[in-house]
Structure 1
Amino acid sequence: MGIRFPHISWNSIRLKLVVGLFVVTVPLLALLIYNHHYSINVVRNQVAISNKNLISLYMGEIDARLEVVEKNILGLATTNYDIQSMGMPNSEDEYQLAKYKVSLYLSNNILFNESIDAFFVFNHERQDLLDGFQSSIAYSERMQVEKNLVQHLNQLANSSEQASHNWYVKKIGNTYYILRTIKSGNLYIGAWVNAQTLLGPMNLINLGANGHALLVNSQGDPLVSANFLQDDQVDLSRGFQQYYLTGSKKNWLVVGKPSQVGKFSLVAIIPNEQILQNLPKITYLIEWISFASIALLPLSLLFLHRAVLVPIKRLISVMNKINKGHVNVRIENYGAPDEFIMVNQTFDKMISQIEELKINVYEEQLSKQKAELQHLQLQVNPHFFMNSLNILFNLAQVRNYELIQEMTLCLVNYFRFMFRSNLSFVTLQEELQHVINYIRIQEMRFPDQLTCRIDCPDFLKSLQIPPLLIQTFLENSIKHSVTLEEPLHLSVSLDLKETGLSPYVEVVIRDTGKGFSNDVLADIRSGNRVIDEKGEHIGIWNVKKRLLLLYGEEASISCYNGYPNGAVVEIKLPYEEEG
């Protein structure tokens, strides 16, 4: 079953009040909110452009320093005689002398290049590494870098992979380094720098108390420690063509600039509160007005709901219950405006008067229905009484005393049942026994011309049904269908069936006679009494009237002609278990 939404009329007071309130407040609120967000976007865009220019300036300075270092490395590889001697020495003495001179050159050259941490020269064949470090580099870091650098250069030498033509990122331990390597014969000449060293000048940029400047690789991974990135789900992998907001609450502004000489980028991460703290005071005023308007709207709706809509809803709820027949309900005393209190009191007084009138009318209807029901039941008796006397007269003429005795006993049982038929209900067992007794009387009237079969499950025999329900239709079939040419067969079947959640008892009565005429079927379906050349036939109309009085619309009777012939009557009764 789908969800059902309450129906609200477009002409209802509550809909008009709510819509009117929204029509007035929502456009104003939307304008304030739009203005607020527009101001924020303007300020954020200006901050992003300013920091983008600053980051581009610093990234250009870093690239310029790295280009100078790269030219120095290329000069070593192409013009330094001692480097060439180390690569292709004529003797061991020449190699050791060249190695000594190169070591002095690297140590002196590092003093004039503060932008990097070390120069190195590595002879792959001899597994000999020369390097010149800045004095600020710790010995433990130097040893770790030398060890990993030798492994890295050996991997390059033993693989078909070419050395990168740009500066690239290498992770050694938990620290990221930026390397530039040039191969010259058997030698690898290059330089490396700690990523943190390149960020030194960025300390001069004011990014706020929580702002950060980072170097990131091409995948967006930071090259320095930044735990807040994972904590706030900051994403640095979108590229840096434009600024964007990131984080779990979109509370970080990211601007960046890729390096022109290496596979890394310089990024500024600025907290949103740092950006917005410079907004004009009018923006804060608009923000507070927006929040006040948002808070005022539900408060207004709540006031409107309590003062007007709730009293109206209670009144409508009681009216709906009264419309369904529950005239004993009243509007409870709740706090409400004086006008609604007066309406509620007047309404309750009016309903009390209506309830008294309805009770009086209902009692009169009950008395009338009871008298009418008893009258309808007794209408059957005279009709059958005349037929019974006629049967006894015929049996007396032929002096068949045995059949007269059986007939008399059947009539005694029949009229005993009829004398108690002023009851509204009898058990199905009693009704069927009466039917069997009645059929036996008719079999004695029409020997060898009448048969009857009754099928009923045992669990239904205790069911309460109106008396003479089945016998009326059997009597109707015998009256109109018994002939001397062909015997008549009657059948009665009862079964419990269920449609949806409402079980019912189905009674099907069939005969093999000529069936109903079209005019009779039309009268039955329209609810009229059947009148033909033989007079008025009240049997079917009688039963339909009784079922209507007893069950209302829960019971039904259908009449039609069977195939190939015969009349069929289907009766549906509501099923209720005992108790």
Structure 2
Amino acid sequence: MGRRFPHISWNSIRLKLVVGLFLVTVPLLTLLIYSNHYSINVVHNQVAISNKNLITLYMSQMDTQLEAAEKNILSLTTSNYDIQSMDTPISEDDYQLAKYNLSQNLSKDILFYNSIDAFFIFHNGRQDMLEVIQPTVTYSERVVVENYLVSHLNQLAISSVSTASNWYVKEIGSTHYILRIIKFGNLYIGSWVKAQTLLGPLSLMDLGTKGNALLISSQGEAMIHTKLFQDKQVDLTRDFQQYYLTGSHDHLLVVGEKSRKGDFSLAAVIPDEQILQHLPKISQLIGWLSFAAIALLPLSLLFMHRILLVPLKRLIIVMKKIDKGFMNVRVENYNASDEFLLVNQTFNRMISQIEALKINVYEEQLNKQKAELQHLQLQINPHFFMNSLNILFNLAQVKNYELIQEMTLCLVRYFRFMFRSNLSFVSLQEEVQHVRNYIRIQELRFPNHLTCTIDYPDFLETIQVPPLLIQTFLENSIKHSVTLEEPLHLSVSLDLQETGLAPYIDIQIRDTGKGFSDDVLANIRSGNRIVDDEGEHIGIWNVKKRLSFLYGEEATLSCYNGFPNGAVVEIKLPYQENE
């Protein structure tokens, strides 16, 4: 079976104390944690705004330089005669002269574009490349880039795909380059710049000792950066409209700006340890206090549990046992606070006094019930006494001395039993003998009009039953059912039944008379005394009262009419071993 959790009342002091502790500590902890996070967010915002402005400024400068280079290329296609001559030369000399003039012009122009690594003009038909490159570009790099451009431009020519309308990123070897190409007839005029060249001035940006500036492609790939990344989980694919935190533990702040002239972005990545190193000491103290309070909360609950809830629980357990009737339990001596020691001592003393008082009251109730039981039993005697004297008187009138002798002996046995009937119980054998003696008296009173049979197993002879239990109902049947027209038969049967949870003695008393009236049955079932024209009949009420005194709710008495006629009284007594 699964473990059952104890039910806790909403009105329990334990619940109130725990809830009260949480209601006090949780808001304070929440306020401390919120204050700490708010301070961190303020610092993040300030750092993000400052670096966002710086990144935007540098990105604007890059876009300005790329735009100037782009305008220089466009001016060649619109106003330069040599470009037209190189595209559709009249002769080979005309082509070579135009190529020479363009080389001279581009060599002069490139001196004004420090952020541009090269200008180039490629004739697709001739497969001839004119390239003007900055002195900082090495020969090996020039060859690699030139070979890639020839291949790339030939693919553009074959596929008839229009050139991009903006600067775009290409990875050549393991290096990223930014290209701008314009098609003019058979010519491809363009410029390229290495990502590292654009990022060079950013090394002067003050991002701190651990800050990192980098160029990012449209796919979120870092093309070049000022410092190496230690964290491999940096996400650079998000939008740069607002700053965000990334990394394995969200410890890196990222701000950036997208280029207006190309499909790349400039971003700054700054670790939290650098951002928060200037955070006021109070924010760090608040953080430590919050974690300390959270760590101490279980200890506080444990302390409260031992000091307050455990003594209270012991007291509640004892009170519940007392409520179930175990008056002999006491609160044991435990180490507890002075207040609980005083409560426990006072409680134990009070329960001892209540127990003594309860015992005295219980004994008084037993004596009262015993006296009332004797009174109920003796209430039957005067009724029968009058009938007995009347029988003797009638026999004396007819001078039937033999029956007078028999009647007298029966009365002697009857009254001997009655004089000792103040006992609470007698054996079934004694009760049956008394019933038979009583029936014989009634047979002498109503000769040839009354018969009776008593049936029970021998092993029940020694069981204890209340005295006069059967006689009461036989007397009631004789009183209300004997007539001179038809004889009355009485039957008494006793047996041990085990159909329920506990065995019981089943006693059934039947007669062949007219049975109970509806009013009488209603009064019997409601527990009322029966009153009719002949006066008050207390026999059945007395028996029910006696059974209640002796057995409580374990004994039952029911009355009903049998089929086809006659009254039936059924009594069920709990079976008890002889003690």
Q: Report the TM-score, using the length of structure 1 for normalisation.
A: 0.60
Output the amino acid matched with 2:16. L
CA contact (8 A) 1:44 1:275 kept: yes
CA contact (8 A) 2:521 2:559 kept: no
Cα deviation for residue 255 of structure 1 reads: 2.3
Deviations 1:142-169 (A, max 9, x none): 5554455455445544557543322223
1:125-524 map, 5 Å: 125-126=125-126, 128-137=128-137, 142=142, 145-146=145-146, 148-150=148-150, 152-159=152-159, 161-172=161-172, 174-218=174-218, 220-224=220-224, 228=229, 231-234=232-235, 236-240=237-241, 242-281=242-281, 283-284=283-284, 303-325=303-325, 331=331, 333-348=333-348, 414-416=456-458, 418-419=460-461, 465-468=502-505, 520=521, 524=525
Q: 1:130 to 1:418 in 2, by over 3 A?
A: farther
Cα deviation for residue 275 of structure 1 reads: 2.1
CA contact (8 A) 2:521 2:560 kept: no
Give the Cα separation in 1 of the matches to 2:270 and 2:218: 20
Q: Is structure 2 residue 8 aligned with structure 1 residue 6?
A: yes
CA contact (8 A) 2:523 2:529 kept: no
Output the amino acid matched with 2:239. R
Gaps in structure 1 of 5+ consecutive residues: 398-406, 424-444, 447-459, 483-515, 562-579
Cα deviation for residue 29 of structure 1 reads: 6.3
Output the amino acid matched with 1:65. Q
Give the Cα separation in 2 of the matches to 1:517 and 1:125: 129
Cα deviation for residue 267 of structure 1 reads: 1.5
Give the Cα separation in 2 of the matches to 1:462 and 1:148: 105
CA contact (8 A) 2:214 2:266 kept: yes
Residue in 2 that maps onto 1:83:
83
Give the Cα separation in 2 of the matches to 1:519 and 1:248: 91
Give the Cα separation in 1 of the matches to 2:16 and 2:91: 102
Q: 1:146 to 1:324 in 2, by over 3 A?
A: farther
Deviations 1:24-78 (A, max 9, x none): x777766666655554444433322222221122112111211121122223333
Output the amino acid matched with 2:275. I
Output the amino acid matched with 1:255. V
Instruction: Give the 3-state SS of the residue equivalent to 2:213 in structure 1.
Output: strand
Deviations 1:174-205 (A, max 9, x none): 54332212121232222222323321111112
CA contact (8 A) 2:211 2:268 kept: yes
Residue in 1 that maps onto 2:482:
none
Q: 1:257 to 1:346 in 2, by over 3 A?
A: same
Give the Cα separation in 1 of the matches to 2:462 and 2:319: 44
Q: 1:303 to 1:70 in 2, by over 3 A?
A: same
Give the Cα separation in 2 of the matches to 1:194 and 1:70: 16
Instruction: Give the 3-state SS of the residue equivalent to 2:308 in structure 1.
Output: helix
Instruction: Give the 3-state SS of the residue equivalent to 1:166 in structure 2.
Output: coil
Instruction: Give the 3-state SS of the residue equivalent to 1:199 in structure 2.
Output: helix
Instruction: Give the 3-state SS of the residue equivalent to 2:223 in structure 1.
Output: coil
Deviations 1:451-490 (A, max 9, x none): xxxxxxxxx9897643345x75xx78998889xxxxxxxx
Cα deviation for residue 206 of structure 1 reads: 2.3
Deviations 1:93-116 (A, max 9, x none): 655665566567666755553313
CA contact (8 A) 1:476 1:539 kept: no
Cα deviation for residue 273 of structure 1 reads: 2.5
Gaps in structure 2 of 5+ consecutive residues: 371-421, 466-486, 489-496, 562-579
CA contact (8 A) 2:199 2:224 kept: no
CA contact (8 A) 1:381 1:418 kept: no
Output the amino acid matched with 1:416. D
